[in-house]
Amino acid sequence: MSNVQDYHKNLWDTFKIEGKWCLPELSDEPYPGILSFTPNYGVELEVEDENKLWDYVKQHRILWGTSTESQRITLFGFPAQEHSLFDAPVALLRKDQTVRFDAPSSSTYHFRDVFLGEHFEKIEDMQLNTLAIKFSYLDEWISAEREAPFAGETDLIHTRPEQRSTGTVKDIASVTVKKDGSIFITAKRNGMSLERYRDSIYYVQNFLSLMLLEPLYPSSVNGTLLATNRALEIFFPQLNTSKPVYGRISPPYVLFTYNEIRNEFDRLVKNLSSLDRVICDLFFSYFYSPLTFI
């Protein structure tokens, strides 16, 4: 198994990529354009106005790109009816048009995800073998020690009916914490689909927020493809977040430090992943959007 490569950018970065963009079925007819990523706003691609591109994107939600440095890029968008509780409406798939009289008209396409490193003809083709996620404050939590640890032994008990096991749990072989502060998820033999990788990030994020009693957000996401072992860098917008200010984690006030649950970490994350998304949304809205249900 190849190691996930080092991160080049993170989800708090604003960046632009110049390149050529095309339909997967017409890769020999590229259009020049500029891809922009803004953490709170999302993914924008500005290209010369071309209805053929948009007609395809609306149907298949995918567009290919190749950067000026020859890096393969796949853009993926979600229509409005598929966004979840914490998705920003601005991140949904849409097109804005700019009409100019002194230059060619252009269109700006808004996507949900950027995958740097590979092309996919269909989003179903993206099966991940591993996923490495770095979170804000995670390195502080891993190294945190309580001055007055719990007296005696503490049993962490979580009971659930067997039938509550979800596809997310079944796809995961292990969840481990690496020395660099990343959460490393290894999929089982058949890999992990786009939907499952999203669920994995969602449940791990919520679990860590519960442990720290502090909302955490992914700062970088990397993966390896099951079919080719190619490394992917994955980018998506995060609603109403700001770049983390470190030094906020205070060991006396966290629910558990990592060292207190390190032997149970894998089991606890998998157990949380067995809960229904609606239940998790209701509970964890306290951390991420406390006014949602008022």
211: which residues sit within 8 A by CB, 6+ positions away? 141, 254, 255, 256, 258, 261
Residue among 205, 294, 198 nearest 241 (CA) = 205
Query: What pLDDT does residue 153 have?
Result: 46
Q: Last residue of some domain: 94, 116, 138?
A: 116
Which residue in this structure is represented by tokens 């200010």? 245
Residue 4 lies in a domain: no
pTM of the model: 0.80
- Asked if 112 and 127 sit in the same domain, the reply is no
Return d(Cα 51, Cα 216) in angstroms, integer: 40
Please state whether beta strands 128-135 and 231-235 pair in parallel, antiparallel, or not at all (unpaired): unpaired
Q: How confident is residue 164, by pLDDT bands cut at 50, 70 and 90?
A: very low
- Asked if 139 and 246 sit in the same domain, the reply is yes
Cα atoms in the Cβ-side hemisphere of radius 13 Å centred on 141: 29
Residue among 70, 63, 27, 60 nearest 45 (CA) = 63
In the 8-state DSSP scheme, what is residue 36?
A: E
- Asked if 172 and 271 sit in the same domain, the reply is yes
Residues in the chain: 294
Q: How confident is residue 7, by pLDDT bands cut at 50, 70 and 90?
A: very low
- Hey, what amino acid is at 70? S
Residue 255 lies in a domain: yes
Q: How confident is residue 58, by pLDDT bands cut at 50, 70 and 90?
A: confident
In the 8-state DSSP scheme, what is residue 192?
A: B
Residue 143 lies in a domain: yes
Residue 7 lies in a domain: no
Q: Last residue of some domain: 55, 88, 116?
A: 116
126: which residues sit within 8 A by CB, 6+ positions away? 115, 120, 193, 194, 225
- Asked if 147 and 272 sit in the same domain, the reply is yes
- Domain with 158 in it: 123-288
Q: Contact 87/79 with Cβ under 8 angstroms?
A: no
- Hey, what amino acid is at 127? Q
Query: What pLDDT does residue 169 have?
Result: 64
Query: What pLDDT does residue 56 have?
Result: 80
Return d(Cα 101, Cα 2) in angstroms, integer: 52
- Asked if 183 and 38 sit in the same domain, the reply is no
Count of structural domains, the chain: 2
- Asked if 226 and 181 sit in the same domain, the reply is yes
- Asked if 98 and 158 sit in the same domain, the reply is no
Q: Last residue of some domain: 116, 144, 159?
A: 116
Residue 171 lies in a domain: yes
Residue 5 lies in a domain: no
Mean confidence (pLDDT) of the chain: 76
Q: Which has more confidence, 285 or 169? A: 285
Q: How confident is residue 227, by pLDDT bands cut at 50, 70 and 90?
A: confident
Residue 3 lies in a domain: no
Return d(Cα 50, Cα 28) in angstroms, integer: 15
